[in-house]
Structures are given as C-alpha cells and as structure tokens.
Structure 1
C-alpha cells in the first residue's frame, strides 16, 4: 500500500511564506530594475568582473524577474500548481541573476540568493492535499 509521507509544518507554512517572499523580493527587483533602467550611473561600475552588462541590462533582467515573481507570489496564495512550478523556475533564475549582480550589491545579492534557495525548498517540500 502506498502511504503519503508526513508533511512538515515548516513546509506547509513555508509555502505561504514563500509566496510573501516572492512578492516582496519581486517588488524590490522591480524597483531595482527601474532604477537601473532609468539611470545607468545609479550602481557602481565594476571593471574587472567577468560578467559585465550595463546597469540598464541588469535593470531589464531584474524588472522581468520581479514582475514574474509578483505574479507567481499571487498565484501561490491560491495554491495553484502552475505557480509552484513557475516559482521554482523564477527563484532559480533569481539565484543566477543575483550571482551575476554580486559586485554591485554583494551583501544583498547573498541574502537574495539564500532567500531564493529557501523558496525553492518550500515550494518543492510541500504538496497540497487536493
């Protein structure tokens, strides 16, 4: 007989918290993206970094990730399966984007990477009963 594994309270509550984190991080990415697009000199330039884009390029990447993250966060509040799947993809893309963003905002990039890793765990550890 097939038995369901016991669901962790951390994982169940983690999904709601992941939704909030995606919403907040998405809004912050939108704001950082807009500031990068609007004014290329807002962020410090790093000349010796292997991955060099203009701040405008980073701004567009963060803006797109932010918009999708906000939409996914809203979908997670409805416990939509598409939001769970896309949420893992968005959090993965956000990890890559923040890794590439390290020279501009090293502390925030590391915090964002940790948050995104936690979001991936929360979205993959809990499965809705329905």
Structure 2
C-alpha cells in the first residue's frame, strides 16, 4: 500500500521540480513581455473594448512585477520549503488572474500561461516532501 503512495509522491516531486523550472521560465518571459509593453505599445494589437482594460504601459508594469515575483518564487520552490510551496500556489493564482485579464492583448500566450499555472498549482499542492 505504501508503494503507490511512494510512486505518487515521486511523480509529484518530479512535477513540482518541473513546476519550479516552469515558474522561473514563465517569470522571465512575463518580465520581458512587460518590458515590450512598456517600451513599444505597437508590439501588441488591441481588438475589442474590454471591461478590464488598462493601457499597455500599465499592463507592462504589472507583467514586470509579476514576472520578477514568479521568477523569485520559482527559484525558492526548488528548496521544497513549505512557505515556498504556499507562495508558489498564491503567485500562480495571481498569475492566472493577470493572464485572464491579459487575454485580449495576447490570447494564446495568456491561455498557455493559465494552463501552466494550473500545472504548477496541482504539482505543488500534491507534493509532500516529507513523504517522498
């Protein structure tokens, strides 16, 4: 009976380490995306009017801040500390919300990041380092 749990925890640990790498990568790309939005408003095409619309410079700064935080938490998540796992869940949830609101500007990227944030939350919430 402990073998399935051990296998499950090994899978969760591997996925959580992958989640840490995903967070670092996504954070860096979000940071760069934010810089692009701040520096050149012409990079992104805005279609229809959207309820949660900010100007691109504001969105750029939001993505810069979120990118830095996601990257930092991703690096710390590699340690497996309980507070880092909780921070990863909270930061991934915030990233999901920000990318949902960013959908009109960059829909495919936003949906990809939302999906990756779901993977991060699942991996981190099912991983129990003491049980591995």
Q: Same fold by TM-score, threshold 0.5 exceeded?
A: yes
1:57 lines up with 2:58 in the alignment: yes
Question: Which structure shows the bigger proportion of residues in helix conformation?
Answer: 2
Counting only pairs closer than 5 Å after superposition, residues 40-51 of structure 1 correspond to structure 2 as: 40-51=41-52
The runs of 4+ residues in structure 1 deviating greater than 2 Å are 39-42
- Whether the 8 Å CA contact 1:41–1:55 is kept in 2: the answer is no
Gaps of 5+ in 2: none
1:68 lines up with 2:57 in the alignment: no
**Alignment length (residue pairs):** 127
Gaps of 5+ in 1: none
- How far does the alpha carbon of each residue in 1:9-57 deviate from its partner, in whole angstroms, 9 at most, with x for none? 3211111000000000000000001111122332112342111101111
- TM-score, normalised to structure 1, is 0.90
- How far does the alpha carbon of each residue in 1:44-82 deviate from its partner, in whole angstroms, 9 at most, with x for none? 123421111011111111111110111111101111222
Q: Aligned Cα RMSD in Å?
A: 1.7
1:23 lines up with 2:31 in the alignment: no
Counting only pairs closer than 5 Å after superposition, residues 1-130 of structure 1 correspond to structure 2 as: 6-7=5-6, 8=8, 9-129=10-130
- TM-score, normalised to structure 2, is 0.89
